[in-house]
Amino acid sequence: MDIEQRVKKAVARQLKIDEHEIKPESDFVKDLGAESIQSIELIAVFEEEFDIEMDEQVALAVKTVGDAVNFIKKAMQEQGKL
């Protein structure tokens, strides 16, 4: 399973929505209905799912699913996990 699929599964689980509704351009707040507390929880879910550390302030600037995928790929490369 690639990073994008894993991100979609994690988002679907956390926000309790159908995975098929999630697109790379989906905005976590506007399109998927995430509230601010859920955005923070998503960071924790991504850290656990991908075994990485994410800078919370930088991660909160990530607005779309595609941005999250790119952010996670970069973090994994920097942390030697990819």
pLDDT tens for residues 24-77?
Answer: 999 999 999 999 899 899 999 999 999 999 998 889 899 999 999 999 999 999
Confidence of residue 14 (pLDDT cuts 50, 70, 90): very high
State mean pLDDT over 10-30. 97
CATH code for position 50: 1.10.1200.10
pTM of structure: 0.92
Number of domains the chain is built from: 1
The domain in which residue 66 lies consists of 3-78
Can you tell me the distance from the alpha carbon of 42 to that of 26, in angstroms, rounded to the nearest whole number? 15
Reference 74, options 45, 54, 49, 44; nearest CA is 54
Per-residue model confidence (pLDDT) at position 71: 96
